[in-house]
Amino acid sequence: MSIGRNFDEIYRALIALQTADAFDIACPADWRPGDDVIVPTAGSCGVAKERMDDTENLDCKDWFFCTKKLDKDLVLNTVLKK
């Protein structure tokens, strides 16, 4: 009771945690539904090459760091079970 609470941040963090679990991804700092998400690192050289070649679905900065778009409505419908 002696500290303030930012309920918007608590809600954002809970949605991010549930999204990461539901879609097997990671959410960057200050992530909100509709923002890009981080794809887990490739487990092999072959998968890394496939990711680097998949410019339609993934935005790869390097072989180990790729992001992708995740639709806001899909996230909210999945996480909030609308």
- Segment 44-69 shows an average pLDDT of 89
Please check the confidence at residue 30 and state whether its pLDDT lies above 90: yes
Please check the confidence at residue 76 and state whether its pLDDT lies above 90: yes
Please check the confidence at residue 62 and state whether its pLDDT lies above 70: yes
Q: How far apart are CA 28 and CA 34, in angstroms?
A: 12
- Segment 35-39 shows an average pLDDT of 96
Work out the pLDDT band at 82, boundaries 50, 70, 90: low
Closest to 55 in 3D by CA, of 40, 44, 64, 66:
66
- Segment 38-52 shows an average pLDDT of 88
Please check the confidence at residue 51 and state whether its pLDDT lies above 70: yes
